[in-house]
Amino acid sequence: MKTYMVLLAGLLFTLLSCTKEDRKLTLIQQEEAIDQFVQSLAKDTVLYQKGVVRAVLEPGISVDPADTLAAGDTIYFYYAGYIFSRGKGELFHTNSLAVAEANNRTLTGDEAAVHSGVVGEGKFLKGLDYGFPGMAPGEHSYVIFNADYGYGNTKVGLVPPMSPLLFEIWVDRIVKN
């Protein structure tokens, strides 16, 4: 009986070790794919913040860096969330009427409203909290991150576990706090 328990414990340990290694490999592959995609964009402004990439497609209006978004500030924005697959993959959520219509989706009044929240307080996915600082009103950007900064190993709605994400962000306005 003891032999079986030792064998079972050893097998369980081996399986858990493989799972951790598989997860690490998956995250490394996601990072490599994100880097390749960002390089293909040929954008002047690409920022790396705490493992999150922000590619500025259209800069916002900011006279002074102190006017840009920082932790503790409130952001009002429109977004389109995609499962990253060497670029924009499947759209899983948006509050942009134009994006919804282009993807044959309909939004109710509340779903199409500008989204808001305080940056750095945990209201957003970690990847967004890390990608938002430095944004300015009017900015249009991609914020891209691996599964660790998104939903991790949890399936959420249309998003499978361990999915890297790409958020297209249109900043409506910010309120400095």
State residue 126's pLDDT score: 97
pLDDT digits (tens, 9 = 90+) for 53-93: 999 999 998 778 788 999 999 999 999 999 999 999 999 99
State residue 4's pLDDT score: 58
Is there a contact between 79 and 73 (Cβ–Cβ < 8 Å)?
no
Band of pLDDT at residue 17, cut at 50, 70 and 90: very low
Average pLDDT of span 112-131: 96
DSSP run (H or E) holding 26: helix 2-41
Average pLDDT of span 124-136: 97
Q: Give, in degrees to the nearest 5, the angle at Cα 74 between 142 and 144.
A: 15
The answer on pLDDT for 10 being more than 80 is no
pTM score of the predicted model: 0.87
DSSP run (H or E) holding 101: helix 97-102
Indicate the number of domains in the chain.
Answer: 1
State residue 1's pLDDT score: 59
CATH of the domain at 84: 3.10.50.40
Domain extent, residue 164, equals: 2-175
Band of pLDDT at residue 3, cut at 50, 70 and 90: low
